[in-house]
Structure 1
Amino acid sequence: MNFVVVDHPRPGIALVTLNRPERMNAMAFDVMIPFRDALEEISNDNAVRAVVITGAGRGFCSGADQRSAGTLPHVDGLTPPTVALRAMEMLDNVVLSLRRMHQPVISAVNGAAIGGGLCLALASDIRIAAEDAHFRAAGINNGLTASELGLSYLLPRAIGSSRAFEIMLSGRDVHADEAERIGLVSRCVPGEDLLDECFDLAERMSGFSRPGLELTKRTLWSGLDAASLEAHIHQEGLGQLLVRLLTDNFEEATAARKDKREPRFRDRR
């Protein structure tokens, strides 16, 4: 069985589905390793302009697989502490692979996004949730910390520190309507409309200039990482200059508005 399925539902759009519904798409290595590999392959596929991630069945991703973690490669002869370190490194790389993708990434959260599943959603650029989806920072409920896979970094930046502290320290569920209200997701929609909503958004984004889209994504993330406005604002300006000087996109957009047509960006002069 393929635990990760890649489809192309519309031109320029890749749909990546975690496909282990009987385990709510839990983060066993047998799922996460091909997921990471698929992300890296899609990132380098220049025919793909936007990416949508979802889960098969009732769940988006239920976090750590507490029944069977699956098989981690390249650990023969290692002691358990080192195996644990390699396991965390592999899972960290999944989150970082999402952040590093050239294309914008939309998480179509179709159900439970728990623990590491919440982290995957937060590492995406945009989150849209089905009305029956819910989110949970589950580590605290399992006698561990709620901080994992970047969660204590990403969640406060998404919803603010007070809400993040409360959600992570209480281990409570955040349902889709609340997630929309506090900015954890862009919006929640009926489950039957979820993928089409995400495809429509992906299609809209894929119509823009490729370097403009990629640089906007990069500067948004680097802005969240920046120590100060002054440190970041120059990077924004350099990105704008790069696209302005090396392409005729601005002239094409101006002409398209004058002609009352959609622009045709060539991403070059």
Structure 2
Amino acid sequence: MDWSQRGSEGIIVTEPQPGVIQIRIDRPDTRNALTIEMFDVLHGLAMDIGRDDDARIVILTGTGPAFCSGFDLRQAEMLTEAGPLGMLRLQDRAADAMLAWRALRIPVIAAVNGDAAGGGLALALIADIRLAAAKARFSAAFVRVGLSAGDLGTSWTLTRLIGPGRAAELCFTGRFVDAAEAANIGLVNAVIEEEQGDLLAASLRMADAIMANAPGGVQLSKRALQANMEAASFSAAIELENRGQALLTRTADMVEAIQAFREKRTARFVGN
């Protein structure tokens, strides 16, 4: 596949060496903020990469001084005016991209060249390996704009990566974590200091080390790591869902919903 033809406005796709696909968020004037349309592009790229048998590694990075500053707040008006179901559809579009990236059969390396905040942090967390420039910073900035850190998988990935206590602190405060602290708490695999050379060169060295091994072994290793990390989460999720459903079947609204269905009318919910 000719990856040089797969870019779009705000996203540059290259193949720096055979088997290595580099995705660069390219909106430096917005500190590489993401639009809802860019989530659609990222989703499509993940699907295409998954179908490319020659693809072995993905490197995700940003242009300029930032990795990704999260969702472009210039589209924030869209979020407040969409209505609950409209907002859910927008949220699903973004979430679909994250799910597609997590489901990639090949390893993803995030080369975090600068600030990764909000959705940018979520994007870094969805990678299998994170390498950070010394100037990189990380922030679960959602609460600073009135939103929840339960966004784009952050509450799931961050908790499993650094533990519930640290995740709670970062999500509740929205503070920035510098590269050194990020390495100390396990948020990144390594910090690439200036004397060690270019961050992307270090990412390519990591890619080379991975590609030196059997593709099938690497891919099934990724599948095993993800499946076994999610096994406990799935049972916990089922337990929580079961309790929630059991509780909701005891409410007046559940009775009303069934009655309205039988009477072919709109249900009148009262919230109890």
**Shared fold, TM over 0.5:** yes
Structure 1 residue matching 2:74: 3-state secondary structure: coil
Q: Deviations over 1:86-141 (max 9, x none)?
A: 11001111111111111100000011110111111111100000000000001111
- For the pair 1:21 / 2:28, whether they are aligned, the reply is yes
Match of 1:102 among 99, 102, 105: 105
Cα distance between partner residues in 1 of 2:135 and 2:157? 23
Cα distance between partner residues in 1 of 2:65 and 2:77? 21
- For the pair 1:111 / 2:114, whether they are aligned, the reply is yes
1:163 match: 166
What does 1:226-237 correspond to in 2, within 5 Å? 226-227=231-232
1:260 match: none
Instruction: List runs of 5+ in structure 2 lacking aligned partners.
Output: 1-7, 234-272
Letter of the structure 1 residue corresponding to residue 42 of structure 2: F
Cα distance, 1:68 vs. partner?
2.8
2:212 match: 207
Structure 1 residue matching 2:213: 3-state secondary structure: coil
What does 1:144-223 correspond to in 2, within 5 Å? 144-190=147-193, 193-223=198-228
- For the pair 1:122 / 2:129, whether they are aligned, the reply is no
2:251 match: none
Counterparts in 2 of 1:196 and 1:71: CA distance versus 1, 3 Å: farther
Q: Deviations over 1:219-239 (max 9, x none)?
A: 1111211129xxxxxxxxxxx
Cα distance between partner residues in 2 of 1:131 and 1:164? 22
Contact 1:29–1:69 (CA<8 Å) still a contact in 2?
no
Greater alpha carbon shift after TM alignment, 106-115 vs 20-29: 20-29
Cα distance, 1:29 vs. partner?
1.7
Q: CA RMSD in A?
A: 2.0
Greater alpha carbon shift after TM alignment, 42-51 vs 102-111: 42-51
Instruction: With the length of structure 2 as denominator, give the TM-score of the two structures.
Output: 0.77
Letter of the structure 2 residue corresponding to residue 197 of structure 1: A
Contact 1:13–1:203 (CA<8 Å) still a contact in 2?
no
Letter of the structure 2 residue corresponding to residue 21 of structure 1: P
- State the number of aligned residues: 223
Match of 1:138 among 138, 141, 146: 141
1:43 match: 50
Cα distance between partner residues in 2 of 1:71 and 1:201? 40
Contact 1:14–1:50 (CA<8 Å) still a contact in 2?
yes
Cα distance, 1:79 vs. partner?
6.2
Cα distance between partner residues in 1 of 2:219 and 2:138? 28
Cα distance between partner residues in 2 of 1:139 and 1:169? 9
Q: Deviations over 1:161-189 (max 9, x none)?
A: 11111111111101101001111000011
